[in-house]
Chain A
Amino acid sequence: MGVDIEGARPIARVKSEQDSFEALFKAEYARVAGIANRVLADAQEAEDVAQEVFIDFHRLHSASSPYAAPWLYRAAAHTALNRVRGRRRRERRELAQSVDEGSRALDPQRIAERNEDRRRVRQALARMPAKPASVLVLRSSGLSYSEIAESLGVRTGQIGTLLRRAEAALRKEVNRGTP
């Protein structure tokens, strides 16, 4: 008694966990996917990331944890940034996609320029250290200063400074990556 062995959980508790996870998923999914989309500028891939993050959270933590939402936000930003960093092959797919989009669009040159801009910004984000990049992504995804602070494990009073530095760093990184 008293020992909670995973395989022997009472059914009610398992059910409650599943219900909690479903409630968490439905409450936070759009926001988590939005954070990933902010980094990736690709809604479909952002959904992949969001689902991965939720599955990962579910595997490791209780859905009723008080840190669930901040954990998901940070994980979404980190996972999406890692995807940008780790994906040489993504570039090839995007190239094919932009050609495809261009063939259907009214202004192929504009489409190509837009894709190039997004690619450059994402690469600049990916070159930045994780914390400033995450601050930028979370803030531009609409999180409040206190939500960002909770997600990144820093004091709310530090967010203004972190944000300021991150915005200056992004400008430099984007300029550095511009031919």
Chain B
Amino acid sequence: MAHLNDGTLRRMLDDPDAITAPDREHFSTCAECKARQEALGADARAAAALLAVPAAGFDAGAAYKHITAAPARPRFGFRLPLLKRSAQPVVAGLALAVIVAVVATASVNVIPIFAPKTVTPVPVTQAELETLPDLSAYGDITWTQQPTPQIGLSKADAEKVAGFPAPHVGSLPAGISSTVTYAAMAQSTGIFKFSAAKAEAAAAAKGKTIPKMPAGMDGSTLTLTMGPALLVVYGDLPKSENSQSGQLSLPQLIVAESSAPSVSSTGVTVKQLEDYLLAQPGLSPQLAADIRAIGDPTTTLPIPVPVQFATSSKVKVHGVQGVALGDNTGVGAAVIWIKGGHVFFVGGSLKQSDALTVANGLI
């Protein structure tokens, strides 16, 4: 009889009854199998010792009260849902709006005159997101053209709305569905007007005081332009919300292209806005340092990377610097880059290596 394999020998250490009678009989008389088990048993004991941690008691009742009393949600709500295997249909459907709005919203915190030419990752934790000032507490935004994504268009209609041809994937990775859905969004413009009174009142309501707005900021405006954008989704889009569990799969692959978001200012300078943001109470020193380290904020699009959900790295895509998120487990990965005034996004429930291949093969 052949010797037992390592898996069987290892399992015998945890569960001696989980093997067949012939295997047990072989093992009882086989010196070689016993020697191999002794060796792998040493590794098993060493691993158990290395991974030992002090006993900790976890109070589920107290923890439940904590999360229901103050649900921890990032203020800007960007959780990279594209990195999840599944998400609510609204997330899938509005993925494009999320991609564009998220980065533009994040950017507007530091950049009054903004025309990004490159991207850079900014690692953030949930706790740090909580420390970011809430933009809506510093003024009011009015949309002259609301962001209105249109989903389920034909390719021709999507290209008509966006005003540029749909990005074409050179070759799809194995296992990715060739079912394609198009979505598009026309250009949208919003005007944010700073209000010192509103900012001070919002801070006072929380029992905090904030630094005075710099001269000229109160009443001045930032004009934010997003899109047009076009989204190509590979895989089945959820058709309705009537499933029993409410769980629907995210598409396997999303390819998006958008004009880079831009921000113009009527009075505030980049320096003033950055200084004002970084002087807000409660902002994490690490996040402040990360924001300062962005480099030229007028031309760099920061990609917030929640460290608990994703890792990030800088990559070369089409000859320019891009940001890769996720890993090679296949749970989720994405690549984002800017070229020719357009932001590109390739992501979904695929390996990072596949996302990079698709990104570099994009035509």
With A55-B72, A62-B247, A145-B11 in contact, do A167 and B58 touch (Cβ < 8 Å)?
Answer: no
Number of interface residues of A (CB under 8 A): 68
| A3 close to B242 (CB less than 8 A) | yes
| B58 close to A130 (CB less than 8 A) | no
Complex Cα gap A43–B311 (Å): 23
| A157 close to B241 (CB less than 8 A) | no
Complex Cα gap A25–B65 (Å): 11
B-chain residues with CB within 8 Å of residue A60 when the two chains form the complex: 84, 86-88, 247
Q: Cβ of B8 < 8 Å from any Cβ of A?
A: yes
A-B contact count (CB 8 A): 166
Closest to A79 in B: B308
With A82-B310, A145-B15 in contact, do A65 and B247 touch (Cβ < 8 Å)?
Answer: yes
Q: Cβ of B293 < 8 Å from any Cβ of A?
A: no
Q: Cβ of A110 < 8 Å from any Cβ of B?
A: no
Closest to B81 in A: A60
Complex Cα gap A22–B40 (Å): 41
| A170 close to B47 (CB less than 8 A) | yes
B48 contact from A47, A129, A140, A161, Cβ within 8 A: A140
B-facing residues in A108-149 (Cβ within 8 Å):
117-118, 121, 125, 129-131, 136-137, 139-140, 145
Interface centre among B9, B51, B328 (most CB of A within 10 A): B51
| A140 close to B307 (CB less than 8 A) | no
Complex Cα gap A33–B64 (Å): 13
| B327 close to A61 (CB less than 8 A) | no
Complex Cα gap A56–B87 (Å): 10
| B6 close to A160 (CB less than 8 A) | yes
Shortest C-beta distance, A134 to chain B (Å), equals: 9
Task: Report B42-68 CB contacts with A as 1/0, cut-off 8 Å.
Answer: 011011101111101010110110110
| A170 close to B50 (CB less than 8 A) | yes
Closest to A114 in B: B54
| A29 close to B60 (CB less than 8 A) | yes
Shortest C-beta distance, A66 to chain B (Å), equals: 9
A41 contact from B53, B64, B305, B311, Cβ within 8 A: B53
B-chain residues with CB within 8 Å of residue A94 when the two chains form the complex: none
Q: Cβ of B123 < 8 Å from any Cβ of A?
A: yes
B11 contact from A25, A41, A56, A160, Cβ within 8 A: A160
Closest to B128 in A: A89
With A121-B50, A160-B7 in contact, do A65 and B242 touch (Cβ < 8 Å)?
Answer: no
| A164 close to B40 (CB less than 8 A) | yes
Task: Report A136-179 CB contacts with B as 1/0, cut-off 8 Å.
Answer: 11011000010000000000011111111111101100100000
Complex Cα gap A159–B338 (Å): 43
Closest to B246 in A: A62
B60 contact from A3, A26, A171, Cβ within 8 A: A26
14 sampled A-B residue pairs with Cβ under 8 A: A4-B242, A6-B90, A29-B63, A29-B64, A30-B58, A43-B56, A48-B126, A50-B58, A64-B245, A82-B308, A140-B48, A164-B6, A167-B46, A170-B46
Q: 10 closest pairs, A vs B, by CB?
A: A161-B7, A160-B7, A86-B307, A160-B11, A29-B60, A43-B56, A62-B245, A164-B10, A167-B43, A33-B58
Q: Which residues of B contact A (CB under 8 A)?
A: 5-11, 14-15, 18, 40, 43-44, 46-48, 50-54, 56, 58, 60-61, 63-64, 66-67, 71-73, 79, 84, 86-88, 90, 123, 126, 240-242, 244-247, 286, 305, 307-311, 327-329, 331
